[in-house]
Chain A
Amino acid sequence: MAASENKIIKKGGQDKAKSKTETWAKLRSYFELRFQWQPIVDFAKKKTVPEHPYSFWTYFGGICLFLFIIQVITGLLLLLYYVPAVDKAHESIVAIMGQVRFGWLIRSVHSWSANILIGAIFIHMFSTFLLKAYRPPREITWISGFFLLLIFLAFGFSGYLLPWNELSFFATRVGTDIIGQIPIIGQSLKFFVLGGPEVSGSTLSRFYWFHIAILPLLTLFFLGVHLYLIQVQGISRPIGIKPERTEEVPFFPDFILRDAAIWFTVLAIIGVLCVFFPWEVGEKADPFAPTPIGIRPEWYFTFMFTTLKLVPAHILSLEGEKLALLVFALGGLLWMLVPFWDKRAQRDEKNPLTTAVGVVVLVYIFSLTLITYLFPRL
C-alpha cells in the first residue's frame, strides 16, 4: 500500500516538472519566434574571455559601465526635484539633501560615483594604452573610448555648475575663461558655452541641457559602438602573452559573475563614502562676490589648470597659455591616433617608446594634480 502511494507521489512530481519544462519551452519559442534571438544566445554561449596575468585591468571597463548605469539611475531620480533656475537650483539641492527621503543618498551617490567614474575611465584608458590593446582591429574601440572620455569630462564640467554654489560658479568662470583662450574660435566658443558673455542663468540652462540631453545621447552612440566592438572582437590579449599561457574563460557566466562581484564591492565603497563624506551643498553662488582664494576646477581638470598657471606668459613671442592649450590639443590628437602611429604594436611587437609616452603622460598628470592640492596658492 505504502509503496504504491510513493509511486503515485513520485509520478505526480515528475508530471509537475514536465509541465514546468513545457511551459518554459513554450514561452521561449513564443519569444524566439518574435525576437529571433537564438543567434545572440548561441554567441553568448560560445563567447570566452582570455585570462592572463594582466586580466585584473580588464575589469575596469565593466566598472565604468556599472558606474554609468548608477549615474543614469541616480540622475533620473535627481531630475524629480532639481530645478535648473538661478533662484531655485541651489535651493532645490538643499531640499534634496535635507527634505527629500533618501535624497542625500541619491545626490551623494551621483556625485561620488561621477568622480569615481572619471577615475575608473582614466585607469581603464591607461591600462588599455600600456597593454597596447588599441592595436588592430581595435582602433575604433580605442577612438570611441577616447570620445567617451571627452564626453564624461564634459559631463563632469556641466554637472559641477548645476548646484549653483560658490565654488562651482567661480570654477566654471575660470574654466570658460580657458576656453576663451583657444586661438581663433575661443571667444565665440566661450559665448556659445556660456549663453552670453558671463556665467549667468543662461549658462545654467545650457549646462543642464548638455548634461541631461546632449551628452547622454552622445554617450549612447559612442558607448553602443564601444560595447558592440568589444562583443564582436572580444577582449584583447596583451603582446607577448602566448595563447597557450592564457585560459579562455566563458563570458557567461564566469566573467559576468566576477564582474558582478566587483560591481557590488564598488557599490558598497560608494555607500561608505556617501555616509561618511556626503557631497557638500556649499554656499549659494553670488555673481557679485569677489572670486574666493584658491578656486580650482574639479580634480580631473587640475593638471591642465595648473599647467596654464605655471606656463610663462610668453614663449618665443607666443602667448604661453595659448601655446599650452595648443600642445594639449595636439597631444590629445596624437593620443587618440596612437593605433595608427604605433607601427610596432600593429605588428604585435613590443614598443618601449609608446610605453614610455604612456608612463610620462601618467606621471605628468599625477604630479601636476598633486602639485595643485599641495600648493593651493600657487
Chain B
Amino acid sequence: MKKQNWLLFAFGLFIVWGLGLAADKKNTCLECHLQLEDKLALPARSFPQDIHANYGLLCSDCHGGNAEKEDIEEAKDKTFRGTPSRQNIPKLCASCHSNATYMRNFNPRLRVDQLELYLTSKHGQAFEKGDLKPAICTDCHGVHGIQAANMPQSKTFAWNIAQTCGRCHSDTSLMKSYNLPANQEEDYRTSVHAQALYEKKDLSAPTCNDCHGNHGASPPEVTSVANVCRQCHPSPSQLFVRSAHKAVFDEAGISECEACHGHHRIVKPTDEMLPGGKLDTCVQCHEANSKAFQQGAPLRQELQRLATELESLDSRLDAVAKKGVEVSEARFQLQEARTPFFEARNLVHGLSFSEMESRLKDSSDRLSRVRAMAEAAEKESQFRKTGLIIATAFLFLLALGILLKARQLRQRRLKTYL
C-alpha cells in the first residue's frame, strides 16, 4: 500500500473514532434536570425531541458550562451562562445560524441570513430600539422542543403558522399598545386561502408568512401588494398591469388586488363582484350608470348564465351517467367549454371586453353542443327503459305461453292415457 493510502486510512480511522466519541458524549445536565421539579425538568424532557439534540448538540452549546462533568460545580464552570436573556437570544441563535461554514455541516441548504432579515422586519426594528415585546426567535420556533419547519408538529409548519402568529397578533391588549388590529387571524381563517390549507390540506396554500415574509416579516406596502399576490396568481396580475386600471390605481395610491379582493379575509371571488352584482366592487369607484358599468353589466349576466348552465349540464350528465348511459365524450366537451369560460372570468382583470366576449361566445357554442349531447343521452336512457318494458313483457308472456302449452300437452297426454 502506498504511503498516501496509509495516511488516508489513518485519517478515516480517526474520523470514525471521533464520531464514536461524539456519539458517546455525556450530557450530565439532562441526567440531573430530569430529576428536578417541573419547571427545571421541563427543558430536559423536551430537549431530546429537539432538532438540535438530533444533530448532537448539547445543553452547553447554548447555556455554556461543561455537560460532561458529573460534579455540579465543575459542570457550571466559568463559561456557564445560565438562561440567556431575551435581549441576547437573536444574537445567540445567530452565532450558529449566521455562520455559513458551521451550518453547512448540518444542512447546506439552510439560509444563514435570518438575523439580517429579522433586523429589517417590524419585529426586529422595534426590538433593536429596545422594545423587548416583539417576537424573537424563540417566540415562533419554541425553546427546547424546536422542530424543523417541515415537521407537522413544528410551530412553523404551514398549518400551525396562523396560530403561532396569532399568539401575539390576536392578543387585543398587546396589539392595542402598537395601534394594530387584532382580528387578522380570525379574518384569515374565514378566507379562501385558509379553506385550501385546512380543508383541502393543500400545503401550498398561503398562510401569514407567505405574504408577509418569515424572518423579515412586514406588511407589504400599497405598491407591493400586487407583487405579493402575483407569486401565486401571475395571470390576473399580468392582465391587470396591462389594463387601464393600473395607471389610475397607482396615481390614486390604491393597492391593486386588495382594492377588490380585500386582505386576510379574501373570500372566493364570484361573478356577483362584477357590475350590477350583489357584491359589486366596481361601484366603489364607478357610477352605476357610467359607460364602464354599462359595458360590464351584460358580461356579468352572460358569465352568470354560463356558470348556471355549466352546473346544470354537469348534474344532468351525472344523472344520466348514473342510469348507465356512457357520457365520457359529453364530459370531455363540457370540460372544453369550461376552459374559455374561466379564461373570460380571468380577462376581467385586464378589462379586455372584446376578448371576454369572444371567449364567452366560444364557451356558449361548446355548451350548446354539450346540451345536445345531454339531451340525446337522456333520450337514450328513456329509450332503454321503454325498450326494457316491452322486451320484459314480451319475454314473460312468452314464458307464460310456453308453460301453458306444456300443461296443455300434459293434460292431453294424461287424457289419452286414461
Interface residues of A (CB under 8 A from B): 94, 97-99, 104-105, 108, 249-250, 253-254, 257-258, 260-262, 264-265, 267-268, 271-272, 275-278, 281
Contact = CB atoms under 8 A, between A and B. Distances in A.
Contacts of B391: 268, 271
B409 A253 contact: yes
Contacts of B385: 275
B403 A257 contact: yes
A261 B399 CA distance: 4
7 contacts: A254-B406, A257-B406, A258-B402, A261-B406, A265-B395, A268-B391, A281-B326
A258 B399 CA distance: 8
B405 interface: yes
Report, as a range, how many residues of chain B touch the other chain: 20 to 34
B392 A272 contact: yes
A98 B327 contact: yes
B228 to A, nearest CB: 36
B402 A94 contact: no
B319 to A, nearest CB: 14
Contacts of A97: 326
B13 interface: no
A264 B394 CA distance: 9
B221 interface: no
A267 B395 contact: yes
Contact of B329 (A98, A258, A271): A98
A361 to B, nearest CB: 33
Nearest to A263: B399
Contact of A272 (B388, B398, B399, B406): B388
Contact of B403 (A104, A108, A261, A278): A261
A94 B398 CA distance: 34
B106 interface: no
A115 to B, nearest CB: 16
Contact of B402 (A260, A268, A281): A260
Nearest to B413: A250
A8 B402 CA distance: 38
Contacts of B406: 253-254, 257-258, 261
Given A98-B329, A278-B324, A264 B395 contact: yes
A248 to B, nearest CB: 11
B178 interface: no
Contacts of B410: 249, 254
A370 B263 CA distance: 55
Contact of A268 (B325, B326, B392): B392
B6 interface: no
Interface string B17-37: 000000000000000000000
B396 interface: yes
Nearest to B393: A268
A278 B324 CA distance: 5
Contacts of A253: 406, 409
B403 A98 contact: no
Nearest to B410: A254
A262 B399 contact: yes
B245 interface: no
A275 B399 contact: no
Contact of A271 (B325, B326, B392, B403): B392
Contact of A265 (B323, B328, B387, B396): B396
Q: Which of A98, A267, A272, A281 has the most CB of B within 10 A?
A: A98
B384 interface: yes
B405 to A, nearest CB: 6
Given A268-B392, A268-B395, A272-B388, A98 B326 contact: yes
A246 to B, nearest CB: 15
Contacts of B392: 268, 271-272
Contacts of B403: 257-258, 261
B240 to A, nearest CB: 39
Contacts of A98: 325-329
Nearest to B328: A94
Contact of B405 (A257, A264, A271): A257
Q: Which of A104, A250, A264 has the most CB of B within 10 A?
A: A264
A98 B328 CA distance: 8
B326 to A, nearest CB: 3
B388 A275 contact: yes
Q: Which of B384, B391, B399 has the most CB of A within 10 A?
A: B399
B281 to A, nearest CB: 41
Nearest to A260: B402
B376 to A, nearest CB: 11
A108 B325 CA distance: 12
Interface string B309-347: 000000000000001111111000000000000000000
A104 B388 contact: no
A104 B409 CA distance: 40
